[in-house]
Amino acid sequence: MNFDGWGLQRWANHFNHMLNIANPPNRYRFDVGQLAMETSNAMFPSDPITKVSEENLDGFAGALIPAESRTKWGIVYGSGQSPGRRRFTTAHELGHYLLHRKKYPNGIHSSEADVDGRTQLEVEREANEFASWLLMPLDDFRKQISPTDKPDFDAIGRCASRYEVSLVAAVLRWLRYTERRAVFVTSVDGYIKWAWSSDIAFKSGIFIRTSRGPVELPASSAVAQEQFTLDVRSGVDHAAGVWFNEPVREHSFRSEHYDTAYTLLHLRNAEPKAWNEGEPLEDTYERFMRR
């Protein structure tokens, strides 16, 4: 069979279909490295993945590396990653193997920024999207959090543990299908590092531009005032003018492992003002990356 024309969604759907049929006890927390080795051996016996291992990668999150003979591949993930990050990195490198190895016979190294979604590089975005689709199948995710829900960090955290991925990976996956206006913000020491808007939020002009450098947190937000209480994590309401020119519900907490604060902003769903006359539907992800 010829897999040349298979894109990232087709590959992810293929594996999800296979996993649904096999239905192993850990259906959503399956061993990604094992899947990579077994399936590549069955589908591409002339250059399978034969090794998945942890190494000190000095600044890289992961890599897809050919054996000297060029007849085998290895996936390496950097040491010190949480189990969730490790799974995502491994899935990301499997994406490179399936989609990009012919173009990159010398392999691919992926930086931290490549794997967490900040990159603009096409191959890195494809690998990330493949990993998201593979690890967090949309049909199942939508059953956990409906597109019209307003989840808090606990609800999204339950999905992160269901799929054994990082909280951020689960938030980004949810943001891509939610029909609500929502924004996710990460900040360090009072400055916004990056922010993502849901599609519908973006279309209504709700986004924070961080591509030109860090942006200060709004002074009267809970996160700027470091109110990292359970109440703020469960959500506090702000009037218009705090975050945007309209009221928002803010959920914020500070990560225990890093000094990063995470903020989830829910806005009211605006009534459409006018119907859309064929404006091309741009890929949300591309727009995130361009900002």
Q: Summarize as ranges the residues that interact with Zn ion (CB under 5 A).
A: 110, 114, 124, 127
Q: Which is nearer to Zn ion, 16 or 89 (CB)?
A: 89
Neighbours of 142 (CB within 10 A): 14
Q: Which is nearer to Zn ion, 115 or 171 (CB)?
A: 115
CB of 114 to Zn ion, least distance (A): 5
CB of 191 to Zn ion, least distance (A): 27
Give the tokens for residue 273. 């003002």
CB of 199 to Zn ion, least distance (A): 24
CB of 40 to Zn ion, least distance (A): 17
The alpha-carbon radius of gyration of the chain (Å, integer) is 20
CB of 154 to Zn ion, least distance (A): 31
Phi-psi region of 278 (alpha: psi -120 to 50; beta: other; left: phi over 0): left
CB of 96 to Zn ion, least distance (A): 5
Q: Which is nearer to Zn ion, 30 or 97 (CB)?
A: 97
Q: Which is nearer to Zn ion, 94 or 127 (CB)?
A: 127
Q: Which is nearer to Zn ion, 124 or 164 (CB)?
A: 124
Q: Which is nearer to Zn ion, 127 or 200 (CB)?
A: 127
Q: Which is nearer to Zn ion, 53 or 148 (CB)?
A: 53
Nearest residue to Zn ion, scored by beta-carbon proximity: 110
CB of 123 to Zn ion, least distance (A): 7
**Hunting for tokens 């293929």 — which residue is that?**
14
Give the tokens for residue 229. 């209480």
